[in-house]
Structure 1
């Protein structure tokens, strides 16, 4: 047996369970598409100082192709080394886990060796596998590291996962959370029904990955039926590519939501209205108009404008902004200036790049 959630720092696990801002960490490259260590360090420092509760590294926003370029261990190592060198505050570190079972188990072992606390399991490479095989795959990984399920939207390679899969996943002893990111309300409810059916609502912490519906996911009390009785579930935090940009205001937003939900206060219309405003920004960053073709480059573009990245370069030279996407980013910058954290970045950029 590898790392079990009972071995984690109780305070750190409690912060994960309360809910945190966990950015999906991008990959900094130079003009030759080589790993830009200085800019990668600056990004990590930015997320730490913005108040993030953790980091997710080696995930979709980091680019799954790091595995083909020998960058998986170096990128994971950089994030944990840089965060620990920058702050005494403990962050909940999540490693992306992908590939067929042997590869995924090897990645989980690497993550544990580097000091990561959990693995976010992408099932995209398992397309075509039935539920029995998918669960066996997750159980093998859970023998190595606490696991977080990942419902990735089909538009970027995810597979449909039924209620029964989520029921069986939630029953895995070393499963601690699920990132719910199908960008689909019906499939989102499938996850919640599965968790409730497993009786795991107190052990499985739900994180929204629905970048198109962030605020309402976090504000909504979800109720599903189990044995004729209502079970209440909530999303506690966000593990989001969207929160790789404008992260300081995301932290402030989640703090505001926690105050409302934990105290049982009425939700103000202005807070509800933020759902559509944040989604409008996400449509530009994630390139919704073009089927999410520019999703990673869009986040890079925001970070480039702020000075954190030098360019938009992705490992795939054909990956970049879609036609019209830069103009859409211009539009949301102008429409929602209070949602950006440009001033915060400018005040600290030189220090982060030092």
Structure 2
């Protein structure tokens, strides 16, 4: 079938993106689902800081590629052998899938699945197939999803069936922003009532971290960002304090507020400077939860003697250490109960022609989460 999609042919183009146009809106070809695959009509796709990283070339991708790694839509066709999903089902699309038989899948850690990671690094679906093309030439899949398109073929383990009463433009954010932010609290840190946390970066992922910390019963939830325009929403969603990341007294203020430092510092941005601050304001025996991805190969520094003598932990949290089939229904329930108002994170919706301009808005920190509506 032919469809409209946002295609990235080159990484590392300069800002403003409204001028350099890293995503070109083109008509491409999408083959139907093969055995064990599903065709989804995409009704919403979130624009994420990870998309900015890919556009900037901080992490290389097979090109040309159809962008987008979180979304939601409606199942339109299932391939032979697919069970549990049928045409008409509403689904969340997530970049986490599993092969079901490797060591990590057997340990219930699908985010680390080696075969899926290998396939996606090659721009393929998790099953090793490719269903996209452009003028007779190969097009690659982005994180096994490619949600910046009107339709996508993916594998069932990347799809979580949801209640049809949930708006699909809101559901789209659960595929990455919610599972990453909330999962870093519930799965990676396992925050307990009365503990203190700091969150560096109050975008879509960071604000989900804030909401999850509130649900977990954290005492102090300190939101930290360079953009103070985000502070009002952050307080409404659960922050007890908000501080400017560039304040020279940041570390001392947090230590005073928490009598020695936070139990958990969640670093969302991937910034080396933020990592330094996160380490400094974490108490002895505390943990720095590393959520943000910097450039491939980028090195971060810390004082090793302090790490040992203070028994701190640096813990990686990729996609919130999520198990989608377990976690997304739980987070959806929190949303329906009003405990996790994910809809508040939506800064607006956009059409294909707005995509590059909205990359600039995200790059400048002027928005939280924007959602592409591929069908208008």
Q: TM-score, normalised by structure 2?
A: 0.28
- Compare the two structures and name the one with the higher helix fraction: 1
- Compare the two structures and name the one with the higher strand fraction: 2
Query: Which one has a bigger Cα radius of gyration?
Result: 2
Q: TM-score, normalised by structure 1?
A: 0.30
